[in-house]
Chain A
Amino acid sequence: MKHLLTAALGRDEAIALLDSAEDMHEVQSHQLKKLPALRGRTVVNAFFENSTRTRSSFEIAGKWLSADVINVSGSSSSVSKGESLRDTVLTLAAMGVDGIVIRHGDSGAAALTADWLAASHPQVRVLNAGDGAHEHPTQALLDAFALRRRIHGTASRGKGLDGVRIAIVGDIAHSRVARSNALLLPALGAEVTLVAPPTLLPTGVETWNTQVTTDLDAAIAQQPDAVMMLRVQLERQQGAFVPSVGDYILGWSLTDARHRALPESTVLMHPGPLNRGLEISSKAAEAMQSAVLEQVTSGVSVRMAALYALVAGEDQA
């Protein structure tokens, strides 16, 4: 793997990454967490969009692998600063970094970064930490990782998510988490159902490798193995996607009643941060808390695995 731009990975490739993340996870239970794998390597976290969780997660992952980690943040609209995104990326590459972890508010920013580097800095690896409404591959990997551990426990290595049924609920249209999961989870053998108000389903979603419904109660009646609730962004209401908060809760919130209708064994997931009382009731959120924190821990393991796979390449000194 040259870059990690998308969660559209092959099954074997994905399982290899998840297995590597298992190794990293083990190390995290040690007293001394630091591995020397990326000593002497430099990773830049180039975050053009605000993020605390993902950036800290990548930062910790890099540091536990002994890489020198530098954080760069900036406004998404680099044009307004008079420097194009391409110039910014090439400037960072020219400083001699080994990997660029990029988060940007515009879809395609990570893929373009890789393209721009190809000619002049082909050795620099690019990790997509979220590009607009497009993809967030490490989030999907950590979701798959956490889910696989919940289902297979310590016997997870080498396994996919065959036959596991997952409902992803919320603003699918604007969600990079949903897009990446809709690519990765089916590749691992899972059956994904996307659940959203009709106004928050992307154009052409019927062509995706998933089931689609607007009826959350019907999805819950199927007794899925996992339910992933996406964060609802209230500011999008200007786009008239849903008439009101009440309307959203009525149709698509994981209320107490819907929570009770799910089997005990159903894994509740959320990429965070949670809007309690909106996409999820406080009680359901409490019940979910452990899984959500597990997801966060998994995030560090998965990002260590991704950085290791890309930046530690054997061709490098």
Chain B
Amino acid sequence: MTTLIRGAQLLGAERTDVLIDDGIIAEVGSVARADTVIDADGLIALPGLVDLHTHLREPGGEQSETIATGSSAAAKGGFTAVFAMANTAPVADTVAVVEQVADRGRAAGLVHVQPIGAVTVGLAGRELAEIGMMAASRARVRVFSDDGKCVFDPLLMRRALEYVKPFGGVIAQHAQEPRLTEGAVMNDSALSGTLGLGGWPAVAEESIIARDALLAEQTGSRVHICHVSTAGSVDVLRWAKARGIAITAEVTPHHLMLTEELISGYDSVYKVNPPLRRDEDVQALREAVADGTIDIVATDHAPHAPEQKLTSFGDAAFGMVGLESALPVVLRSLVEPGHIEVADIARILSSAPAAIGGILGYDKPLTVGAPANITLVDTSASRTFSADDLAGRSTNSPFIGVELPGTVEHVLFEGRATVREGLVIHD
């Protein structure tokens, strides 16, 4: 069974044909025929996108998302691999849960679902979870995170960093000083003061990043900072990288585009953790992606059922869906203003997150012999983003009604079409 992508624009190359045979790229160049042909005229071929930060909600939160529906949202957004965060119920802190998540991802068959293991039992921050057993399990866990909660205890953080070092694991930190953010629901600012909403100060993020950079330096281990949201955090990261510390960082699409003013009407679709910040922060985050201080874009896709959002701002759940809008927002916020080239998307949304998370097959994309994980994008297309663009179970997207560029036309996951003409293919 062979598939031919005809006339796609490869990054940094001519328009060409790509032949896929048995899930592997067999030929790049002029190809005559194949069993299936995809007309890629006018489309750019990106490597399959990789999201290092996805909440699939299963087990325990199936009213918001399942592994299958989240996989569908991921495919629709051009992803071929997602890292499933550990804050499920039960928490992914045992071999049983991470293997189940991986198995269900495989059964859904739309993307590689790579489980993330919890750092501490029940995300409670008291004792380390079965990190070694999860790493050695069939799920082959390499990323550990208590995301949703900060690994606040400095000793536990140090031990976790030491423990993952021998097998090349990484601790993905949700940097939020808990005491400084009690009751916090939005950026700490003049706006939070007038709205009467609890403020989440930048220092609560920046102080944890500084501490963990130093712990990573001391242990010689790798730390990854989730959803960086402030200009000050960028400064701390720049300092840590200049020092040679093994620290990586991600920014979400929403923090690259949206600011706190959106909260003025108390619409909980804009309630997210860390919160939307100021325009200065947005600009600093964009520049940090451009200069490599921030390594990757990751969605923090956080689906919530309507009951969790249609309530007061204080009661509403934190989080927004992001898989389907990630690429368009990256085009709008990073490519259009000239911070990065389209070709850089292959790095920040594919090879770099795969390398940080330790999954294979993304280091030499779109070359003969590489797995055929390919996303064909029309970057010239523009549309008003709508609920029809969402393919998961929840619709809590802040981008509905926003004009965004770029559509995902076709996606191949391990050589198999998962999206055709913008629609997810369900077997």
Question: A and B, one complex?
Answer: yes
A residues neighboring B (CB under 8 Å): 76-79, 82-87, 104-109, 111-112, 115-116, 131-135, 173, 176, 179, 202-205, 207-208, 239
| A82 / chain B contacts, CB cutoff of 8 Å | 307
| B311 / chain A contacts, CB cutoff of 8 Å | 78-79, 84-86
Q: Cβ of B196 and Cβ of A133 under 8 Å apart?
A: yes
What is the CB-to-nearest-CB distance from A85 to chain B, in angstroms, rounded to a whole number?
A: 4
Does B312 sit within 8 A of A, measured CB to CB? Answer: yes
Q: Cβ of B313 and Cβ of A107 under 8 Å apart?
A: yes
Task: Tell whether A112 pairs with B313 under 8 Å between CB atoms, given A84-B307, A239-B182.
Answer: yes
What is the CB-to-nearest-CB distance from A271 to chain B, in angstroms, rounded to a whole number?
A: 16
Q: Cβ of A204 and Cβ of B266 under 8 Å apart?
A: no
Q: Cβ of B315 and Cβ of A106 under 8 Å apart?
A: yes
Q: Cβ of A131 and Cβ of B196 under 8 Å apart?
A: yes
Instruction: State how many residues of chain B have any CB contact under 8 Å with chain A.
Output: 24
> Could you mark each residue 90-129 of chain B with 1 if its beta carbon is under 8 Å from any beta carbon of chain A, else 0?
0000000000000000000000000000000000000000
Task: Tell whether A204 pairs with B194 under 8 Å between CB atoms, given A79-B315, A239-B182.
Answer: yes
Does B89 sit within 8 A of A, measured CB to CB? Answer: no
Q: Cβ of B190 and Cβ of A203 under 8 Å apart?
A: yes
Given A106-B315, A203-B189; 4 other pairs, CB 8 A cutoff? A82-B307, A108-B266, A112-B266, A116-B310
A115 to B269, CA, bound (A): 14
In-complex Cβ contact of A203 among B182, B188, B306 (8 A): B188
A135 to B191, CA, bound (A): 14
A202 to B189, CA, bound (A): 9
Closest to A80 in B: B315
A115 to B182, CA, bound (A): 28
**8 nearest A-B residue pairs (beta carbon):** A204-B190, A108-B266, A134-B196, A106-B314, A202-B193, A106-B312, A133-B196, A107-B196
| B315 / chain A contacts, CB cutoff of 8 Å | 76-79, 85, 106
Most buried by B among A79, A87, A104, A173: A79
| B308 / chain A contacts, CB cutoff of 8 Å | 79
A131 to B196, CA, bound (A): 9
What is the CB-to-nearest-CB distance from B136 to chain A, in angstroms, rounded to a whole number?
A: 40
In-complex Cβ contact of B266 among A77, A87, A111, A133 (8 A): A111
Q: List 6 A-B contacts (CB under 8 A).
A: A85-B311, A107-B266, A108-B196, A109-B266, A109-B312, A179-B196
A109 to B306, CA, bound (A): 17
What is the CB-to-nearest-CB distance from B313 to chain A, in angstroms, rounded to a whole number?
A: 5
What is the CB-to-nearest-CB distance from B217 to chain A, in angstroms, rounded to a whole number?
A: 31
Task: Tell whether A108 pairs with B313 under 8 Å between CB atoms, given A82-B307, A84-B306.
Answer: yes
What's the A-B contact tally at a CB cutoff of 8 Å? Answer: 89
Q: Cβ of B193 and Cβ of A84 under 8 Å apart?
A: no
Q: Cβ of A134 and Cβ of B314 under 8 Å apart?
A: no
Most buried by A among B196, B265, B266: B196
| B267 / chain A contacts, CB cutoff of 8 Å | 112
> Could you mark each residue 267-283 of chain B with 1 if its beta carbon is under 8 Å from any beta carbon of chain A, else 0?
10000000000000000
Most buried by B among A107, A109, A176, A202: A107
What is the CB-to-nearest-CB distance from A42 to chain B, in angstroms, rounded to a whole number?
A: 24
B residues neighboring A (CB under 8 Å): 182, 188-197, 199, 265-267, 306-308, 310-315
Task: Tell whether A204 pairs with B189 under 8 Å between CB atoms, given A131-B196, A132-B196, A135-B196.
Answer: yes
Closest to B201 in A: A203
Q: Cβ of A112 and Cβ of B312 under 8 Å apart?
A: yes
| A78 / chain B contacts, CB cutoff of 8 Å | 311, 315
In-complex Cβ contact of B197 among A84, A107, A239 (8 A): A107
Closest to A131 in B: B196
| B199 / chain A contacts, CB cutoff of 8 Å | 203
A289 to B189, CA, bound (A): 37
| B182 / chain A contacts, CB cutoff of 8 Å | 239
Q: Cβ of B306 and Cβ of A204 under 8 Å apart?
A: no
Q: Cβ of B194 and Cβ of A132 under 8 Å apart?
A: no
A64 to B182, CA, bound (A): 43
A105 to B311, CA, bound (A): 12
What is the CB-to-nearest-CB distance from A20 to chain B, in angstroms, rounded to a whole number?
A: 27
Q: Cβ of B310 and Cβ of A84 under 8 Å apart?
A: yes
| A106 / chain B contacts, CB cutoff of 8 Å | 312-315
Q: Cβ of A115 and Cβ of B194 under 8 Å apart?
A: no
| B191 / chain A contacts, CB cutoff of 8 Å | 204
Task: Tell whether A108 pairs with B310 under 8 Å between CB atoms, given A76-B315, A203-B190, A204-B189.
Answer: no
What is the CB-to-nearest-CB distance from B262 to chain A, in angstroms, rounded to a whole number?
A: 13
Closest to A204 in B: B190
Q: Cβ of B314 and Cβ of A79 under 8 Å apart?
A: no
Q: Cβ of B194 and Cβ of A108 under 8 Å apart?
A: no
| B195 / chain A contacts, CB cutoff of 8 Å | 107-108, 134
| B190 / chain A contacts, CB cutoff of 8 Å | 203-204, 207
| A109 / chain B contacts, CB cutoff of 8 Å | 266, 312
Q: Cβ of A108 and Cβ of B312 under 8 Å apart?
A: yes
| A204 / chain B contacts, CB cutoff of 8 Å | 189-194
In-complex Cβ contact of B312 among A83, A104, A179 (8 A): A104
A104 to B314, CA, bound (A): 10
In-complex Cβ contact of B314 among A105, A111, A116, A239 (8 A): A105
| A203 / chain B contacts, CB cutoff of 8 Å | 188-190, 192-193, 199
A85 to B316, CA, bound (A): 10
A176 to B194, CA, bound (A): 10
A133 to B195, CA, bound (A): 8
| B310 / chain A contacts, CB cutoff of 8 Å | 84-87, 116
A194 to B185, CA, bound (A): 25
Closest to B317 in A: A79
| B197 / chain A contacts, CB cutoff of 8 Å | 107-108, 132-134
What is the CB-to-nearest-CB distance from B192 to chain A, in angstroms, rounded to a whole number?
A: 6
Q: Cβ of B307 and Cβ of A79 under 8 Å apart?
A: yes
Most buried by B among A104, A133, A205, A239: A133
